[in-house]
Chains A and B, each alone.
Chain A
């Protein structure tokens, strides 16, 4: 029998029991859409995590003050100041630092402060750093310009502000060229940073950047020898992270005169590893959800098998008639198999559509990126076809093995 004729028969049989067909399909639709939605959500979440960490700057390491332990009780990160300004210069290639994989180094000091414009006021974090920071963070201004102070010598009272701060202090007007008061002191706004949106620690655009020395004069307390903050280091490439971390560690241990029995008095952190770990755990959760979704697809498949078995019994007489007029067992088997295949495939297509809608609304709700997992969609569609064949096979074989004499006499 031709494929077209077989398909026509399948569609007609499905149409005759439309409600039942739709309900059976629903099992597949839910299964497939759940798989698509879960995989899409997983990829979207992963993508968001990736973007967030990318916004922190790529190929970046953080060097932090170590923790101090006094009488056995460890203080928090940075509780003991150990990084010195000379450490920075020894690492920084523009000051003669010799670690070849390091590209740029910037000290980062920060504190919370109250800001005010003529009309508004706002509380946010103030970062004191060199202009190298903008390069390391790969962060340009959308209006105005960043200050030019690569060596951290400038005491100019200028500020580059984040988009959120600009919106808060200068609503409806251009912030560049205006004056912002930081703890009462006037600073000229020279630039507004491009918006980066939400980050792992909240709104990334809620910050003010001022020159390092200016910051030290206004905010720093403590010994001038130590850096009351951290260093951020950018490397030439990501592959050099381990090597660079080892080199920095060796340099600082040597400079701090630590012998081999002593622990590091500083910490080096690789945000990329953080990102990787976070992505990995997101991925695992996504896979787990997809697995649960796959179980619902299995349930859908069992629904198909159930209905096909009922259908075979209901149509026993039809099978008998078809056999009497010359249908071979394989013809009968094909007919039922194509029917469950078509059922599952239509369910699969509807599931893809529903899954996409579902994933899209989830992405909206959790404000992560909508990713339509094309590969997964293709696989899921193939799987729905497979479900149709696998779960349709047993009923189809049963149909094909009916004895025409008994089938013809079957009373419904």
Chain B
């Protein structure tokens, strides 16, 4: 059995809203092995966004410990957390979050800038990442010149370029039509086959079906955790 890539123990997250405390997460224990695909499901307000933020090192737990790749990241400074994100996690967002008026290639290069990788090397690696998502011929296109599916593929290339072991996808198909969704899910499944750990955050059961494990949250606790045979995207490209 592979070593756990993600290990969360007793994670709680409490927000202070004025004089009220909002308990977004109330004691999460979760272990994820490297190379697996997992879907985090739940209605809005279930705490799945908070869960994703903490897993993605965008936020920190109020209590509990979070080990990512064997390192305790639950009490890091903002700067250290940023570096952990850069090296360990690739984000894919529902709204793509590409920089406008910037070419696909430069969007993909961006994470490497913050790792201090020289320009030529960045270029090479970004092209390779675009190639992996089948967009090397669109490298010079600006994001506004790309279709939604293409934009999401650029975002996946950006998540891949830093060789981060975890791909964190937040409703990756939320803005895409069915056919394009299949394409994107096929690419993500392909990444799992190549050893990446893909975490899908979604409220759609048919998207969660592509994962080998589904964790369901409700009111800040895990109410269901089951393993399944992942579905195959129907008209995979």
Which residues from chain A sit less than 8 Å from chain B, CB to CB? Answer: 1-2, 4-5, 16, 317-318, 320-331, 404-405, 408
Stretch at the interface among B25-33, B91-99, B207-215, B218-226: B91-99
Contact of B79 among A318, A325, A328, A408 (CB under 8 A): A328
Does B110 lie within 8 Å of A325, measured CB to CB?
Answer: yes
Does A326 lie within 8 Å of B116, measured CB to CB?
Answer: no
Determine if B61 is an interface residue (Cβ-Cβ < 8 Å).
no
Q: Kindly list chain A residues whose C-beta atoms are within 8 Å of the C-beta of B110.
A: 321-322, 325
Minimum C-beta distance from A193 to chain B (A): 70
- Which chain B residue lies CB-closest to A404? B58
Contact of B111 among A5, A16, A325, A404 (CB under 8 A): A325
Q: Kindly list chain A residues whose C-beta atoms are within 8 Å of the C-beta of B79.
A: 328-330
Contact of A329 among B53, B82, B85, B99 (CB under 8 A): B82
Contact of A405 among B59, B83, B101 (CB under 8 A): B59
Interface size of B as a range: 20 to 34
Determine if B78 is an interface residue (Cβ-Cβ < 8 Å).
yes
Does A326 lie within 8 Å of B97, measured CB to CB?
Answer: no
Does A324 lie within 8 Å of B83, measured CB to CB?
Answer: no
Q: Kindly list chain B residues whose C-beta atoms are within 8 Å of the C-beta of A324.
A: 56, 58, 85, 91, 97
- Which chain A residue lies CB-closest to B93? A408
Contact of B58 among A2, A330, A405 (CB under 8 A): A405
Does B59 lie within 8 Å of A325, measured CB to CB?
Answer: no
Minimum C-beta distance from A205 to chain B (A): 67
- Which chain A residue lies CB-closest to B82? A328
- Among A4, A323, A404, which residue has the most Cβ atoms of chain B within 10 A? A404
- Which chain A residue lies CB-closest to B84? A326
Does A329 lie within 8 Å of B78, measured CB to CB?
Answer: yes
Q: Kindly list chain A residues whose C-beta atoms are within 8 Å of the C-beta of B43.
A: none
Determine if B86 is an interface residue (Cβ-Cβ < 8 Å).
yes
- Which chain A residue lies CB-closest to B159? A325
Minimum C-beta distance from A329 to chain B (A): 5
Sorted nearest first, the 9 A-B pairs with minimum C-beta distance are A326-B86, A325-B111, A326-B114, A328-B82, A328-B79, A327-B114, A321-B97, A404-B58, A1-B113
Contact of B114 among A1, A4, A320, A404 (CB under 8 A): A1
Minimum C-beta distance from A335 to chain B (A): 10
Determine if B2 is an interface residue (Cβ-Cβ < 8 Å).
no
Does B85 lie within 8 Å of A325, measured CB to CB?
Answer: yes
Q: Kindly list chain B residues whose C-beta atoms are within 8 Å of the C-beta of A331.
A: 82, 114
The answer for the CA separation of A33 and B79 in the assembled complex, in Å, is 41
Q: A326-B162, A329-B82 are in contact. Are A2 and B87 (CB under 8 A)?
A: no
Could you show 13 A-B contacts with beta carbons less than 8 Å apart? A2-B119, A4-B119, A16-B101, A321-B110, A323-B85, A324-B56, A325-B114, A327-B86, A329-B78, A330-B79, A405-B58, A408-B58, A408-B97
CB-CB contacts below 8 Å: B36-87 with A: 53, 56, 58-59, 78-79, 82-83, 85-87
Does B53 lie within 8 Å of A405, measured CB to CB?
Answer: yes
Determine if B118 is an interface residue (Cβ-Cβ < 8 Å).
yes
Q: Kindly list chain B residues whose C-beta atoms are within 8 Å of the C-beta of A326.
A: 82-83, 85-87, 111, 114-115, 162
- Which chain B residue lies CB-closest to A408? B97
Determine if B158 is an interface residue (Cβ-Cβ < 8 Å).
yes
Q: Kindly list chain B residues whose C-beta atoms are within 8 Å of the C-beta of A318.
A: 99
Does B82 lie within 8 Å of A321, measured CB to CB?
Answer: no
CB-CB contacts below 8 Å: B216-234 with A: none
Minimum C-beta distance from B94 to chain A (A): 10
Q: Kindly list chain A residues whose C-beta atoms are within 8 Å of the C-beta of B113.
A: 1, 5
- Among A5, A16, A317, which residue has the most Cβ atoms of chain B within 10 A? A5
Does A317 lie within 8 Å of B114, measured CB to CB?
Answer: no
Minimum C-beta distance from A13 to chain B (A): 10
